[in-house]
Amino acid sequence: MREFNQFKKDLAALISFRSVRGEREDNMPFGKEVYGALSYFLEVAERMGFNTINYDNYAGEIIFGEGDEIGIIGHLDVVPAGGGWDHDPFELTIKDGICYGRGVQDDKGPLLQCLYALNELKNSGIAPKRKFRLFVGCNEETGWEDLSYIQSKTVLPEYGFSPDGNFPLSYAEKGIGIFEFRIPHLKNFHSLSGGSAVNAVCAYAKCTEDGGADRETAEKYGLRIDGELIESFGVAAHGSSPHLGKNAMLPLFKYFAEKGENVGSVIECLFEDRYGISKLENEQGKVTFSPDLLSEDKEGIKITCDCRIPAPFTLEDVKRIADKFGIPYTAFEKHPPLLVEKEGWFVETLLSAYNSVTGENGVPQSMGGSTFARAFKYGCAFGCEFPGIDAHIHDANERVSEDNLEKSYEIYRRAIFALAEK
């Protein structure tokens, strides 16, 4: 990378903004720090000589070239630092060839690399056959309001990538459906609650039991008793991969069943997949179904489930199965599935940039998670985590080696140059 030193200066400046979502202030919808990072990024682009658009501080755009459009989208907001760092998370620290800082990989570093690659294209004198539109998101981590805002102001390109996933690239992301099941109040158990988010396997659930719990039976299910309070502890995991976690609701419901409550169908249908939702499967994987939130109000008990559906399966296919449960529910589609032709020109172009730099023979992947690639009709998540390397994203000591920074830059550069010539 020719301008590596300048790149590191700009990256350090971006990392120094604590761009965790904050309270709205005046014209800064996500707070001062996010605003600061966006302003800085747009200044860098203007310094390079690009035309820019500021979408009222919800997001930015950098434009270059003429022709059919290619989108690139990443984000400058970050998740909170959390504890356990060896260095100041908001100061780019380079030690033994490793760069540390919140956002070096997710996603300030990769987004800045794409800008630098576009700049190299601009300075090369090649007239691109395409119009590149680089979108600078500010609210990816907490709600995608930036993307909704952009979509309300402009039509996004059909083809594009997001440098906010893994290499080689993902050509498919499962659709996301949310199911809310309702069951009546139980006879002897009250105040049921559990889970932290609809996209995270429930790691903690609790309730109370009239007259205190039956310690012996409760302990059989690993429950913890404290007077009338019954607690269940599981293991969290992303809602798209429930098999990696342990759902805390299940032992609780097994205990209810043993104590004579009518919850057999909840256990069989929602947790044990009696009707075979997971049999809906293709090369992108299975439909997954994860009961992640538990709550109780005056109408009864609500269990909210995260469902990931690989195209061409649809929410309707899953609903046809859920209709057999005999448990009242409502369902809606949170995100439609994303599917880009695996052998098509777009995937080919990105993949050959990756393979030519790494010398690998990487193939397109699919994922259950959700990235900004969904901004585009044909969107791919493309980098920048390399296979087998843990960048500690959303964790303490988020990192990337200088070597891998050079390597991922070269991949983005080759991809952008190749797209410019198509």
Per CB under 5 A, residues contacting Zn ion are: 106-107, 164
C-alpha count within 13 angstroms, C-beta hemisphere, residue 191 = 9
Phi-psi region of 348 (alpha: psi -120 to 50; beta: other; left: phi over 0): alpha
Which residue's CB is nearer to Zn ion, number 107 or number 173?
Answer: 107
Minimum CB–partner distance for residue 211 and Zn ion (Å) = 49
- Answer yes or no: are the C-beta atoms of 371 and 169 closer than 8 Å: no
Minimum CB–partner distance for residue 105 and Zn ion (Å) = 8
Which residue's CB is nearer to Zn ion, number 107 or number 209?
Answer: 107
- Could you tell me which of 192, 200, 214, 335 has the C-alpha nearest to residue 266? 192
Minimum CB–partner distance for residue 394 and Zn ion (Å) = 9
Minimum CB–partner distance for residue 109 and Zn ion (Å) = 11
Minimum CB–partner distance for residue 63 and Zn ion (Å) = 23
Minimum CB–partner distance for residue 123 and Zn ion (Å) = 28
Q: How far apart are CA 197 and CA 199, in angstroms?
A: 5
Give the pair of three-digit tokens for residue 221. Answer: 């299910």
Q: Is the peptide bond before 168 cis (omega within 30 degrees of 0)?
A: yes
3-state helix, strand, coil in the chain (%, to 5): 30, 30, 40
Which residue's CB is nearer to Zn ion, number 106 or number 120?
Answer: 106
Minimum CB–partner distance for residue 398 and Zn ion (Å) = 11
Helix 108-124 vs helix 32-48: crossing angle, to nearest 10? 20
Rounded (10°) CA dihedral 158, 161, 162, 168: 150
Which residue's CB is nearer to Zn ion, number 128 or number 137?
Answer: 137
Which residue's CB is nearer to Zn ion, number 120 or number 398?
Answer: 398
Which residue's CB is nearer to Zn ion, number 256 or number 372?
Answer: 372
Which residue's CB is nearer to Zn ion, number 19 or number 57?
Answer: 19
Minimum CB–partner distance for residue 164 and Zn ion (Å) = 4
Contacts of residue 415, defined as CB under 8 A and 6 or more positions apart, other chains included, come to: 117, 161, 349, 350, 353, 354, 382
Contacts of residue 57, defined as CB under 8 A and 6 or more positions apart, other chains included, come to: 27, 28, 29, 30, 35, 38, 138
- Answer yes or no: are the C-beta atoms of 153 and 60 closer than 8 Å: no
Which residue's CB is nearer to Zn ion, number 114 or number 305?
Answer: 114
| Burial category of 358 from C-beta neighbours within 10 Å (exposed 0-12, middle 13-18, buried 19 and up) | middle
Distances (CA, A) of 291 to 209, 241, 352: 22, 12, 40
Minimum CB–partner distance for residue 233 and Zn ion (Å) = 29
DSSP 278-321: GG-EETTEE-EEEEEEEEEETTEEEEEEEEEE-TT--HHHHHHH
Which residue's CB is nearer to Zn ion, number 322 or number 391?
Answer: 391
Minimum CB–partner distance for residue 379 and Zn ion (Å) = 14
- Answer yes or no: are the C-beta atoms of 363 and 215 closer than 8 Å: no
Which residue's CB is nearer to Zn ion, number 75 or number 286?
Answer: 75
